[in-house]
Structure 1
Amino acid sequence: MGYKVVVAGATGNVGREMLNILAEREFPVDEIVALASRKSMGTEISFGEKTLKTKDLDTFDFTGWDIALFAVGSEATKIYAPKAAAAGCVVIDNSSLYRYDPAIPLIVPEVNADAIEMYKNKMIIANPNCSTAQMVVALKPLHDRARIKRVVVSTYQSVSGAGKEGIDELWSQTKGIYVPGQEVAPKKFSKQIAFNVIPQIDVFLDSGETKEEWKMVAETKKILDPKIKVVATCVRVPVFVGHSEAINIEFEDFLDWEEAQDILREAPGILLVDKREPGGYITPIECVGDYATYISRVRQDSTVENGLSLWCVSDNLRKGAALNAVQIAEVLGNRCLKKG
């Protein structure tokens, strides 16, 4: 037997990816429904070889449905996730709304799958920020071996992390540079993104951090280990899909770079591509459409006693959002909602 599955926000980038991945991974679905706002009601969406017509999220009755994957943003989630949970449908939420609630599990299946049992508290499971998800997948096996003390990470985040508007703005600005008189002023981003980088993602906090940087700190502590010190600098770059991260790690114990490679090579969810030669690493364009978190450039950091540096790349619409949500659903089904 399979599950009755809801995808809320099915017309957005992440919602579409959720449907694609559910089909690709042959998630056991008995019945599936795609939900969207009223203005998008009736939009046709692909699910494997099937075509679904979206239904109205506002009037949908979640009673009798097993799992709801939410990709509708925090404001809509605040309204509809409690309704779904109250009806007995487990919500897996991609927004930031519930990530920092101590009663709600924040899950990356390769890292802390055991925490999923906490879903019973509120019938809600949180999906982490895209930049955090790929980083903790890389950190987990190394932390198990040598205990991480401190992480310094600089991110190079694609415009798809800002939604369709971000993709459209990069595309139109790039075209406008080559066509005199068709320049496009910044709207989604604070400055021009075409042929530029912007050291701001989300709003600034009183500490001087942006909220994206704060998220990486708070989420890493909740998912992996509250003792780990994290500092992040998050940068938007003119890449359509795929987040990259330069990660410097300080450990309690010494860890040789070659042993670290061996550990990462065998770790779940990771593909190690690390040849010390031109092109012997992965770039964001090469990770698009893939499930893996790619690791390259593993080397000792000689500036600290027990340090490593590495390069981490992943498709942010997949592992950073839709794939992780589907993986959570898989763990939920295998461990908690077994049928048949």
Structure 2
Amino acid sequence: MIQATLKNLPTEDICIHLSIDNHAQHYLCECGSASLLTKKDCLNLGAIFISHTHIDHFVNFDTVLRHQLGTGMRVVVCGPKGIAKQLQAKLRAYNWNLIAENELVYEIREIQNEQSIKVYNVHPAKWNLQLVGEQKGPVVFANEAVEVRYTVLDHGTPSIAYLFSEPDTVNFQQIEAPFAPGPWIKAAKAAFHANEPTTIIHLKEQDCPAGDLFPYFKLRIGYRFGVVMDHAATAANHRKILATFRDADEVMIETYYLNQDQALALQNRHSYVEMSAQIMRKAGVKKAVPVHFSRRYKEDEIVQIQEEFKRVFL
């Protein structure tokens, strides 16, 4: 399961830490100023996902950098068009005369549009951008534990929304099965996953069609977690959100303004309580969490946002 933890207090910028069961690497969504982000959080990161580079989403990258220096880590950074040069500018703002080039590498995956991603490497001391290739969207990151898809929303600037999906798994129900476990389980799982009941499975006791063994296997659908950050409450954005996050298990969505401040939401191309909650309900999301509130609001007003969101969503 994907566990999402907010590393910011409600009145701070947004920062979300992700961990996955039985997986060593962790992930970070957004680098806003967040007082709960620890050195350990930064050292376990396999990848960082940035929606856009407004200061409240990118200002704390320097803290992450500080903790990762000298580790020899290779960290993937995913973000919108332009992030490669913006990250390079951050890195070049410091003096690196005592740092070796193998002490840290960032692989930047710069999302050009819904179909195209440019990939760069950058390392000390000069932090030159090296274009190493391109990859096709909408998958921006994948390994054995998680696949990350994206869609590009409009916030007056491209704002990337990410969907993290665990792979589906097939589990053998050993207690119910009349056969002893053995090498055959792997072949039977593959046949179950591919829905090939006529495949012959060689058990120790006998051979039999895979379909006879299917009752002893159970499919577990992988957990799907989404991050939808700053976006204008427009029909075009909502169509993309519906298409990407339909039936997701959990989504954290920006809920920047109270309903009474819709005019500000329109002016600043943000969402507000009612629209964020409605689109999550319409998408059939099982658990929707309102996050990332305007700094104009005090704690009691943030509670009001959370309560109004819950009322509309449920």
TM-score (norm 2): 0.29
Larger radius of gyration: 2
Q: Which has the higher contact order (CA 8 A, sep 6+)?
A: 1
Relative to its length, the structure with more strand (as a share) is: 2
Relative to its length, the structure with more helix (as a share) is: 1
TM-score (norm 1): 0.28
